[in-house]
Chains A and B, each alone.
Chain A
Amino acid sequence: MIFVKFDRRIFKHFDWTLLALVLSICGIGILNIYSTGASVIDAPVAPYIKQIQWVLLGLLFMIIAFLIDYRVINQFAYIIYGASILLLLVVAVFGYASHGAQRWLDLGVVTIQPSEMMKLTLIIALARYFDDHKSMEPYRLRELFIPFLIVMLPFALILKQPDLGTGLMLLMICSSMVIFVGMNWKSMLIALAGVLSLVPIMWQFLKDYQKERLLTFLYPENDPLGAGYHILQSIIAIGSGGFFGKGYLQGSQTQLKFLPEQQTDFVFSVFAEEWGFIGGLILVMLFMSLMIWGFKIALHSKDLLGTILAFGITVLIVWQVFINMGMVLGLVPVVGIPLPFLSYGGSAMVSLLAAIGLLMNVSVRRFILQR
């Protein structure tokens, strides 16, 4: 067992590129939150100040996740997973409800959202499982039963809150990872059939507002006043930004509060309105670089565990970016998925930065581990 052993090489080979990419995106996020908060006058602490505090706290977690060898973390994977499940259970029982969903846990000083942490924890647990059960052959359904349980337990708890977006995100991370480690074609077809046959049953469990959102996406003209209004306003905001944008703090859609949820789910609309296509291009390019860098880390890792971890974390970020931006651009139904590093929220920021720490961890240790 290797414990935290400070090897000078981890500093020598430190992944400055990754850090620079993430910090630039976080910086854009803080500027943007400042703009959304500019028209909120009576908040006790300005949202952008809070966001800065969360980034700083997240950096602390990033350093921790970076310093402890990921193979050591791997040994505690199931314990970490169990703790997250426990937190979700606590939320279900003592959680604090807001806007009709019971997602938050009030710890007195801060309220945390365990479902955000679950995303990272799920990746760690799945990586552990696939590392423990290496196979030359693609996995068959029966071998995937445990991973199925690992994802369904938190999925059910999060769906209950209700939080369709985060729940689906867990499923997408899990399926991406399973396909990545290899799955038997026949098994994949069977699983696909199974999922499709479950859709009508799942539909019954959806809350009315969730059904409404999905239907609105399919038939937006049916409901210009309800859920469709969000998408419409988002599209107007983004489009009115034009090529160069309206200028920082000048977005009328934003400052007028036409835009809903502008600090969380629709944060990109604010950005695109004020910074235009140029700004959007830069941001998407930054995310794209982050993705390429993440997959490169997965590729160059010296062991399977590192590859799976790096892949899972990168895929987590890419999925969220795609779904969130796709949603505000009117390409994907409105489901509550925050934009990584830009949306306002402490739990997501801290767990994402911790995930980046883990990615750096894998990145650096390829220079240290021997094959």
Chain B
Amino acid sequence: MASITTILQLSLGGLLLDQRAFHAQRDAPDGLRRGALLVAFVGLLVGIAAWIGNLGEYLTQPNPNQLLETLLRGVVQLPLYQELVAESPDLGSAVEQSIGQSNGLLVSNPLQGLLGLFFAPLVALLVWFIFGSIVHVTARILGGEGSFNQTLACTALASGANLLALVQLIPYAQVAATTTLGLIATYLAVRESHRLSSWRSFGAITLGPVLFTLLIGGLFCCVLFLAVNSTVPGVVR
């Protein structure tokens, strides 16, 4: 069983794009297990950080109900609102309804963050598995030699980039660069695990996900089209 120190070292290796970490993962017999632990561990850490940050934001923002009451009272007093409501009286109830429904949007809810704490590692594992599988298939089509285990073991290091998201520990902090750095780490992972050239590795990390997204988008559009056709009478003749 990989120790916490090994997992931390691997995640830092992924964050700093250290080639030795990718080699170690490719050649390790338990690389897949270590990779899964790494992805879940980083996911959990980020989930905890996001929850703490969310809690801080909640404590420094006003009560959501008071905020909405104040907002509604202020909007009603605006001359523009009064003019518009005089022209179309339905607008008043529509505005009140939409302000009433925006409760969760205005103030962050720590309960949602608590749910994220449990789901973050699971979502991270799922995304890693799906993305890793797609990249593996594309890499094999482009002439790669790595096994499925090696691909997943190496692509797990890309989750090291998510360590940057630990800044969410501080309320109101903005996360950036994780996606770009994660994609660069995935590119290195494919190159190392499949011993592919630079251009083929680049193709493997871009072609597969793009085709997969197009396929899912196409299927979604087909389902939506069929659903609309079946519910709107007279469309299908």
Q: Are A and B bound to each other?
A: no
